[in-house]
Amino acid sequence: MCALKAKKWDLPEIPAKMRKPKQSSLSSLMTADEEKRLYEDLQRYREEDWWKRVKAFEANPDSVYNAYWYVALHPMFYSFKPWKNHKSRGVPAVHEQHLVHEQGWDYVRITPHMVNPKTRSISDDPHLNTKIEWWYEFGPTLWDNNYGQGCSGMDHKLMGGARTYDEAIVKVAKAIHRGYGNDRKQVVKKWNDPVLPTEG
């Protein structure tokens, strides 16, 4: 096992404060002040959890468990739920309430392929393709399209393959760490993506 060099991270500043408590089913269970702080607390919990996942992955990047959760929760895959009627509920569209932050694997594709073991590619002669490989491809969710609701790019520089599905999970996580770090700064830089989406 070889630990990865720790990379700093700076999560996007997604608004969490509510200008006024909204009326909801929570109102009967919470005071107005508690409801007003709800999304600030949820944001803090999310950021603390991400910090723990980053530390665990960087300390043991060959762990399939650590790699899986590093990808699942990575900020490069953040998106926002559809904002239909958000104005009528008094909650801004770009708000912690609308953030989807646990769907990294929805944007990663790992598929099996039969390959020629000598070349590790698909041979024109199907009889030579006797070994399975797991190929992966992925890209970040982009906030400049569809108001941040999960349009994804495909980063062809980070495509690859592995001998097993578990190895592919680890390789995807390492590729993300190498190419995107632990936040969305490289998404902004590489894809000319906004720091926050524009509300529609």
Residue 82 lies in a domain: yes
If pLDDT is split at 50, 70 and 90, which confidence band does 87 have?
low
Secondary structure letter of residue 23 according to DSSP: P
The first and second tokens of residue 29, run together, are 């269970």
Residue 12 lies in a domain: no
Average pLDDT over residues 101-105: 94
Which tops the pLDDT comparison, 80 or 18? Answer: 80
Query: Which residues, in sequence order, are bridge partners of residue 162?
Result: 134
Residue 146 lies in a domain: yes
Predicted pLDDT of residue 27 = 54
Residue 9 lies in a domain: no
Which tops the pLDDT comparison, 178 or 93? Answer: 178
The torsion defined by the Cα of 116, 120, 123 and 125, in degrees rounded to 10, comes to: 0
Residue 20 lies in a domain: no
If pLDDT is split at 50, 70 and 90, which confidence band does 101 have?
very high
**Which amino acid type is present at position 15?**
P
Residue 61 lies in a domain: yes
Structural domain harbouring 99 = 25-191
Residue 197 lies in a domain: no
- What are the CB-based long-range contacts (under 8 Å, 24+) for 158-163? 159/135, 160/135, 160/136, 161/113, 161/120, 161/133, 161/134, 161/135, 161/136, 162/133, 162/134, 162/136, 163/133, 163/134
Which tops the pLDDT comparison, 42 or 1? Answer: 42
Residue 46 lies in a domain: yes
- Inform me whether the pLDDT recorded for 26 exceeds 60: no
d(CA 72, CA 38): 23
If pLDDT is split at 50, 70 and 90, which confidence band does 150 have?
low
If pLDDT is split at 50, 70 and 90, which confidence band does 29 have?
low
Based on the structure, what is the number of domains in the chain?
A: 1
